[in-house]
Amino acid sequence: MPPLGQPPLLWLALAGLWAAAAQALRPFWCGALWGFAALALSHRWLLALHPLDWIGVPLPLSLPLCVALLVLIAALAGALVGLWVRLARWLDPRRVETALLLALLWGVAEGALAKGPLFWLGLGASALPGDRPLAALAALGGSGLVCSVQLLIGWLLWRLWRGQARRRLAAALLAALLGAHLLGAALLAAQPLAGPSQRVLVLQPAIPTRDKFTAPQQLRLRRQLLAALAQGAAQGADLLVLPEGALGLEPRLAEPAPIELISGGFRWHQGVEALQQRSSLLRFAAGEQQPSSWLDKHRLVPLGEWVPLASWVRWSGLSAVGGIEPGPPSRLLPRPNGALAAAICYELSDGAALAAAVRDGASWLLASANLDPYPPQLQQQFTALAQLRALETGRWVVSAANTGPSLLINPRGAVQAQLPLGVAGTALVTVPLLTTLTPYDRCGELPLLLLTAAALAWRWARRTPR
């Protein structure tokens, strides 16, 4: 599930990375190989895009294109890790101040990469689902802090394996493990769960993306939507949610919605020069047939939704609906019954944007995604990211995905309800609306940046004169 397995296997792999930084003859290439292998393992689900003939890619080119995409992003990760290892060699990784600085730099870099165009997993979510107390440290400093702590655990393991001052290092390792887990457990216990609530009905259509726009599947989706709206009205649901892109290109209901509806779909936006198509979460108030408000997707999938130099080269990309344009960066969706923070597809990897929306008044999180034709591995990674976002923000998370995972996660990162993967169905869940802010909600990445600056000053103060 994570790049190199859950703790403690990951910690052992990180210990090997520290060893390469100190002893390898070619540290950059050792680090690059480590990073390449880690990302190739964690993102191997990209191969499930094959075959791409359903979007016009010739079948003989489909698999080579998917393999080339995986190799490209793995090479990028390898280059970043290689540079980190080379920096570690230059700063002397045996020194504790160097270890602290490098661990924090990695955490800051992961936070920055999570805001970029790639679906970045990294080490922050690798503690989940098995080690929620360790992952709960994200409430203090986000996923970057969890990443940094695990790198320091790996450093202590490496130093212990080197056999110098073993008793002292064993005590330090034990203190780090116990301290991190006890602090995380205290954060979990202190996180409130109850509050005023809403009843949310989640619809998981389980319609294959490759056949989504065929007439039979469109008819099937309309029937599912009408049945879910009727079910929600009969069971007293306040809201029905559907996954990303569910309403397709014509977001108009056949009849007025009996309850509030939020669904993924597409809309036209009047830009400065021309109309722009956007992927959005569309909100229909009760009694409406057309959306009255929306939240546009901000982070678009490169090539899949957004094409570089599109103004010069008109190409629809790998999306079945053609190229689309990004919306504003805010993830806050105001509603009369309480604002929510929403992530569309892999926007879920950016915890800072959701924490900012919580700080602006969101009382729960909604993750809306398609995730088809990807295998269960990606769905498990998506679940881990949803758990991490719940821990960071102290909010309940509802996920609505086409083939899964459609689930409910509490603010302590525990999955409370989930629909079976790949099977059409509905789930009625109760979502408490919370207002308490975590330190990460209040301060975002600032504590991690201040710690990094302090570690840099410490390393500079203890530099060895040449």
Domain borders along the chain are 9-191+444-461, 197-437
Q: What's the whole-number average pLDDT of the chain?
A: 90
pLDDT band of 2, cuts 50, 70, 90: very low
* pLDDT score of 322: 54
Q: How confident is the model at residue 329 (pLDDT cuts 50, 70, 90)?
A: very high
Q: What is the mean pLDDT of residues 15-39?
A: 94
Active site residue 345: yes
Amino acid 261: pLDDT = 97
Amino acid letter, 157: L
What is the predicted pLDDT for the residue at 229? 97
How sure is the predictor about 307, in pLDDT bands with cuts at 50, 70 and 90? low
| 74-83, 108-117, 387-396, 421-430: least confidently modelled range | 108-117
Q: Which of 66, 110, 297, 392 is catalytic?
A: 297
Distance CA 294, CA 49 (A): 29
User: Beta 275-284 vs 425-432: how paired, if at all?
Assistant: unpaired
Of the chain, the percentage scoring pLDDT greater than 90 comes to 71
Q: Residue 120 has what pLDDT? A: 72
Residue 3 pLDDT > 70: no
Report the pLDDT value the prediction gives residue 464, as an integer from 0 to 100: 66
Has 255 been annotated as catalytic? no
Q: Is 443 a catalytic residue?
A: no
Task: For 123-144, write each residue's pLDDT tens digit.
Answer: 889 999 989 999 999 999 999 9
pLDDT digit string, tens, across residues 363-390: 999 999 999 888 899 999 999 999 999 9
Mean local confidence (pLDDT), 78-106: 96
What is the C-alpha separation between 261 and 281, in angstroms, rounded?
10
Q: Which of 30, 66, 147, 345 is catalytic?
A: 345
Q: Which residue among the candidates 97, 110, 244, 347 is catalytic per the annotation?
A: 244
Q: Is residue 286 very low, low, confident or very high in pLDDT (cuts 50, 70, 90)?
A: very high
Residues 6+ apart with CB under 8 A from 332: 295, 339, 340, 341, 357, 360, 361, 362
Strand 197-204 with 239-241, pairing: parallel
Backbone angles phi, psi at 424, to 5 degrees: -65, 140
Instruction: Decide: 3 and 39 in contact? Cβ < 8 Å.
Output: yes
Taking residues 393-398, report their average pLDDT: 98
Locate tokens 């040449």: which residue? Answer: 466
CATH fold of the domain at 197-437: Nitrilase/N-carbamoyl-D-aminoacid amidohydrolase (3.60.110)
